[in-house]
Amino acid sequence: ETQVREGKRAQVLLNDPLLKQAFEDLLETYKQEIFNTSFTDDNKRRYLWMAYNMLDKIKGHLITIMESGKLAQKDLELLNKS
């Protein structure tokens, strides 16, 4: 039941227009900042790259939670039918 509840919460977050826009804006900002670094600024580029990729990992984690919740819901439905 916890997995189902968390899956539904993750789905709400992923469908939230404000969160979607925040992800898009941050990805674009980090991408632009990476391209605007100087040739010698390896540290800044590295931190921006990590931030850019962390957003994808966060979104991917939410998707995994959502999908796990959906599978748990189907399992519960099958158990209730038995």
For residue 54 the two structure tokens come to 């962390």
Determine the residue type at 16: D
Q: In this model, does residue 82 exceed pLDDT 80?
A: no
Q: In this model, does residue 9 exceed pLDDT 80?
A: yes
**What pLDDT sits at residue 76?**
87
**What pLDDT sits at residue 73?**
92
Please report where in the chains the tokens 């931190």 appear, as a residue. 47
For residue 4 the two structure tokens come to 């189902």
Mean pLDDT of the chain: 94
Neighbours of 62 (CB within 10 A): 18
Output the pTM of the full model: 0.81
Determine the residue type at 77: E
**What pLDDT sits at residue 81?**
86
Bigger pLDDT: 62 or 78? 62
Compute the average pLDDT of residues 21-49: 94
d(CA 43, CA 20): 28
Indicate the pLDDT class of residue 79, thresholds 50, 70 and 90.
Answer: confident
